[in-house]
Chains A and B, each alone.
Chain A
């Protein structure tokens, strides 16, 4: 057991993967000497050299496109996209090429690559630095999409993502980078398993990434009022671990999905639809969603109003319990 921040967890996880497998290479803007703008790759270029921690030109299509080529040649590239809002120049490569290569080649080609994206708001940034775009990629068949929420998962999930022979979009909750947590010496679960982070009986809160902490705080506050909430950290968005979610909702009868992304066609829409199909007879209330509004991410002075907070989660819980 060791205690570390999420950023350090990823850093240590990358280091472990690179030590294990010489084919693992890191690529991205400013990841070398600077250690990335969030310092997640701090010290790695110093220890593994410029050939394995590659400072790329400022071009995201180039980063992902060349990573595809490296993967075709047998490397395992782990690319860093500096901010969520800068993934779009590479979007075409991810959805048209990365996602489809295996099917197109009838399974002859694998693309074991990881695309790391700091996600979400809450850090007072200017525009394009606070987006939640996981649904675009979860919507695209051929990709795995995961999101860590704590140091333990940061450390183990990044290694599992690198070990995966399928391409993985790896989201990192940027406003939680500096949150500390305990990291166990062995992985506690697989990459594609949801985690019940708090047991409860009255309703299930379903979240991932930055919202897991918010939901745990909400559950804490609800407990003070005698409400007993279960909290699930999804961890994997595609494929979705519906078994874990459904088991919980069948127990509690109520579900509230919480994410930062806009609700319209977001992860919550998929989860609500899947739950009503699977757990219809167990549901005491409609599955509710709490998310960002269906607006462009606002100027940072308004992000606290825009992003779901503890109060909005509790409000939804009350509405659910009122049915």
Chain B
């Protein structure tokens, strides 16, 4: 007993140091620090990493070109949607500009039986899951609340209430566990869940509760935080005093920071985390260190709270340019390939635009649909009342 007390006293100085380090403010525009997993430098040079190389070693040149294609196409969809919003065709749009690699890298690491719970900016993950981009536009155009069947592609509806989906993801993972679809060794069967959220969301009670539930249940869930440095106008240091990935340790599971603008590194790190979850080793927190290049949404004005120099720094880390220069100097892709992707992007943009413009408005009566499974007298009475009211206008000669 007294020995312990003495030992405790001698380590006080060291504890102070540790504490000081842990509570030091997070630098505003850091580069992610030495702890950040990176396989491609911003210049597109391949960096060796003994721990993560094995997750990308089997990627063929075609796979790599596929990543590139994904990055370009989803950026194109995003740009078109932003333009459509400016032209009044969408009420609002949340752009993923700058976050393509974090989304494509993690989205491509999933297997069909895995399940994704997104927030509202995961257009690139939706793309990887095969959700039609027009469904995403429908939500922002106001014709529906998403409109896709989440169980068809194992991609849940967008969640706008910050952090709520992390608990749903954890519960879903607990279901997978109970169904025995974890740790069987059968790659077709073992499944995991991935929950997407932002750096701001880590402040929410729900997110912290999901960490607790996932940890104590050893649930097969990957918490995938896209740290794009901002929660609307609030920088990281208004949300956290320690690097986010380090939080996981306090909850009892591993946390890793990955270069979110490096599609290879994200793919590798997410693979590892998903493998761990599928094989019964429980949750992992992945912090994809990235940047929101545009406004929070089209309603936001970032010039009120951040300086353009910061944006310039991050332009240099662009995920698409990085992969492109890697593909070029390793001769894994030629100009004809890049040109073809460009053309494909143009065609996709046209399809998105036309699809958006020709999206029918929902019929007014449709708002009474799908509220309950069983017929509900109040809904039915109001449906009739609504129809009668509108029929009255038609008789009077149009509404």
Name the distance in Å between B165's Cβ and chain A's nearest Cβ. Answer: 13
Chain B residues whose CB sits within 8 angstroms of the CB of A296 once the complex forms:
371
| 1/0 contact string of B101-115 vs chain A (CB within 8 Å) | 000000000000000
Chain A residues whose CB sits within 8 angstroms of the CB of B143 once the complex forms:
299, 301
The reply to whether A59 and B362 form a contact with Cβ atoms under 8 Å apart is no
Chain B residues whose CB sits within 8 angstroms of the CB of A86 once the complex forms:
161-162
The reply to whether B232 and A30 form a contact with Cβ atoms under 8 Å apart is yes
The reply to whether B203 and A85 form a contact with Cβ atoms under 8 Å apart is no
The reply to whether B203 and A58 form a contact with Cβ atoms under 8 Å apart is yes
The reply to whether A57 and B203 form a contact with Cβ atoms under 8 Å apart is yes
Interface assignment of A305: CB less than 8 Å from any CB of chain B: yes
The reply to whether A128 and B233 form a contact with Cβ atoms under 8 Å apart is no
Query: Contacts A298-B367, A299-B145, A301-B142 known; A62 to B234 CB distance under 8 Å?
Result: no
| 1/0 contact string of B224-238 vs chain A (CB within 8 Å) | 000000011110001
A241 to B145, CA, bound (A): 38
Name the distance in Å between B162's Cβ and chain A's nearest Cβ. Answer: 6
Chain B residues whose CB sits within 8 angstroms of the CB of A264 once the complex forms:
378
Chain B residues whose CB sits within 8 angstroms of the CB of A298 once the complex forms:
362, 367
Query: Interface range on chain B: under 10, 10 to 19, 20 to 34, or 35 or more?
Result: 35 or more
Instruction: Tell me which of B144, B206, B239 contacts A299 (CB under 8 A).
Output: B144
Query: Contacts A62-B203, A301-B143, A302-B362 known; A128 to B161 CB distance under 8 Å?
Result: yes
The reply to whether A35 and B304 form a contact with Cβ atoms under 8 Å apart is yes
The reply to whether B142 and A58 form a contact with Cβ atoms under 8 Å apart is no
Interface assignment of B204: CB less than 8 Å from any CB of chain A: yes
A214 to B340, CA, bound (A): 55
Chain A residues whose CB sits within 8 angstroms of the CB of B374 once the complex forms:
none
The reply to whether A306 and B206 form a contact with Cβ atoms under 8 Å apart is no
The reply to whether B91 and A125 form a contact with Cβ atoms under 8 Å apart is yes
Chain A residues whose CB sits within 8 angstroms of the CB of B203 once the complex forms:
57-59, 62
Chain B residues whose CB sits within 8 angstroms of the CB of A312 once the complex forms:
389
Chain A residues whose CB sits within 8 angstroms of the CB of B299 once the complex forms:
37
Binding site of A, secondary structure by majority: helix, strand, loop or mixed? loop
| Nearest opposing residue in chain B for A315, CB measure | B389
Chain A residues whose CB sits within 8 angstroms of the CB of B386 once the complex forms:
293, 305
Chain A residues whose CB sits within 8 angstroms of the CB of B366 once the complex forms:
302
Query: Interface range on chain A: under 10, 10 to 19, 20 to 34, or 35 or more?
Result: 35 or more
Query: Contacts A58-B239, A89-B206, A294-B379 known; A299 to B362 CB distance under 8 Å?
Result: yes
Interface assignment of B347: CB less than 8 Å from any CB of chain A: no
Chain A residues whose CB sits within 8 angstroms of the CB of B305 once the complex forms:
33-34
Chain A residues whose CB sits within 8 angstroms of the CB of B200 once the complex forms:
57-58
The reply to whether B160 and A128 form a contact with Cβ atoms under 8 Å apart is yes
| 1/0 contact string of B322-361 vs chain A (CB within 8 Å) | 0000000000000000000000000000000000000001
Interface assignment of A124: CB less than 8 Å from any CB of chain B: yes
Interface assignment of B201: CB less than 8 Å from any CB of chain A: yes
The reply to whether A300 and B379 form a contact with Cβ atoms under 8 Å apart is no
The reply to whether A126 and B367 form a contact with Cβ atoms under 8 Å apart is no
Chain B residues whose CB sits within 8 angstroms of the CB of A306 once the complex forms:
367
The reply to whether A295 and B304 form a contact with Cβ atoms under 8 Å apart is no
| Nearest opposing residue in chain A for B143, CB measure | A301
Interface assignment of A32: CB less than 8 Å from any CB of chain B: yes
Instruction: Tell me which of A30, A55, A56, A293 contacts B367 (CB under 8 A).
Output: A293
Can you spell out 29 A-B residue pairs with CB atoms less than 8 angstroms apart? A29-B231, A29-B232, A29-B234, A34-B233, A34-B304, A37-B300, A55-B233, A55-B234, A58-B201, A62-B205, A85-B161, A124-B91, A124-B142, A126-B160, A127-B145, A128-B161, A129-B160, A293-B382, A293-B386, A295-B382, A298-B362, A299-B139, A299-B142, A299-B145, A302-B142, A302-B362, A303-B142, A305-B386, A315-B389
Q: Which A residues are within 8 Å of any B CB, using their own CB?
A: 29-30, 32-35, 37, 55-59, 61-62, 85-86, 88-89, 124-129, 264, 293-296, 298-303, 305-306, 311-312, 315
The 10 closest A-B pairs by CB, nearest first: A300-B142, A57-B203, A34-B233, A58-B200, A298-B367, A124-B91, A33-B305, A305-B364, A59-B203, A301-B142
